[in-house]
Amino acid sequence: MTGSSRGHDGRRIAFLGTGLMGAPMARRLLGAGFAVSVWNRDRSKAEALAQDGAICAETPADAVSGADVVITMLTNAEAVKDVLFDRGAADAMTSGATVIDMSSIAPHFARDHAARLAERGIAHVDAPVSGGVVGADAGTLAIMAGGEEDVIDALADVFAPMGRVTRVGPSGAGQLAKLANQQIVAVTIGAVAEAMMLISAGGGSPAAFRDAIRGGFAESRILDLHGKRMVERQFTPGGSSSNQLKDLNAAMETANALSLTLPLTATVHAEFTEFVANGNGEKDHSGLLLHLEEKNALPGGKR
């Protein structure tokens, strides 16, 4: 971060992973007056933030040099481990710095990373998010944090531009909350998709059906946003099906470790597994409708 000025509270932030979600989140921090250094595996995605005032780093280690807070928003646990430990970011951090991992990974990985960073005198908070690209753009993400209470409290002004943070419990609890969130999202997407098919197959209008039940007990953000996608058949990803499956895989692994049987989650997990295996990983997770239509031999686009 050589040459960067300090942020409005004197703290410097490094943001590692400026993809679909990370870029608008980093932009919110820049807009709040923080000095932000950015790095992304695809450098062009980091360079796009230069016009907003970000400093683009060549490597993760360069990005975190001199940073007080390091935020990671990466694809999976392997990517987080690679960037932090294999590429030398953790070794380049100053003792006393804090890592906020906003990626969605399994809880045991978060606890492992926290322990490894603690050996270096670096605090760790697992803080995955919900709200999608829309929430990232608007700064209204639901942020689920796991870690020491005083560490999370001290980061309030860092979290504020990105959304609403809630401490769920100790290290790993943020990731556990995200898995539970993703269970609800996936099962609800499946329920809305099946309802749309029932209406369509019976000769009704899915669009009118969605309007009719708005405000009733079935109202939800999924019905609002993803129900609209289903009606309009717009499946360019806000949240990809491959990422949904990754989170469902982690949820099922965690449930097995806790000796829990989750029949609804298991069913929707199986459907997303098939959908992604059939080459639909980059479709929005609301596109599960397409998979269920195919299983029922329903014509795509039927109203």
b/e for 264-288, b at 16 or more Cβ within 10 A? ebeebbebbeebbeeebbebbbbbb
Answer whether 278's CB lies under 8 Å from 270's CB. no
Cβ neighbours for 56, distance < 8 A, ≥ 6 positions apart: 37, 38, 39, 43, 46, 47, 49, 50
- Residue 146 φ then ψ, to 5°: -120, 135
CA-CA distance, 113 to 115, in Å (whole number)? 5
Q: Which residue has the tokens 């397409």?
A: 290
- Report the catalytic residues: 178
Contact 65, 92 (CB under 8 A): yes
| Contact between 171 and 146 (Cβ < 8 Å) | yes
